[in-house]
Amino acid sequence: SQQGEEDPQALSIQEGENATMNCSYKTSINNLQWYRQNSGRGLVHLILIRSNEREKHSGRLRVTLDTSKKSSSLLITASRAADTASYFCATYLWGQNFVFGPGTRLSVLP
């Protein structure tokens, strides 16, 4: 089954630095999405990139998608302490359900 696997599992950086998280999956997709989860809270949708797109931006977020390598990356620029959270990628294929990876725990130190 298709499955997103985030890498690294945990990431700790200083405020102001960039944070890069990677996601790999196994099968064809229609789109890939990134979600954020603050501790003990629900997931919040951040950005969606379609299978025919290679890069997408939203504020300080930059997502890339390489369908030939079945991988995606999420870059958060100029990180802030408030960016501390877990980040999940989810793959979607029409007619099937979303599949979430195990997530990357990001800690941004002040």
Partner 1 sequence: SQTIHQWPATLVQPVGSPLSLECTVEGTSNPNLYWYRQAAGRGLQLLFYSVGIGQISSEVPQNLSASRPQDRQFILSSKKLLLSDSGFYLCAWSVQGASETQYFGPGTRLLVL
Which residues bind to partner 1, rule: CB under 8 A?
Answer: 30-31, 33, 35, 40-45, 48, 88, 90, 92, 97-103, 105
Closer residue to partner 1 in complex, CB, 13/48: 48
Three-state helix/strand/coil letters over the chain: CCCCEEECCEEEEECCCCEEEEEECCCCCCEEEEEEECCCCCEEEEEEEECCCCEEEECCEEEEEECCCCEEEEEECCCCHHHCEEEEEEEECCCCCCEECCCEEEEEEC
Closer residue to partner 1 in complex, CB, 63/88: 88
CB of 66 to partner 1, least distance (A): 20
Closer residue to partner 1 in complex, CB, 45/80: 45
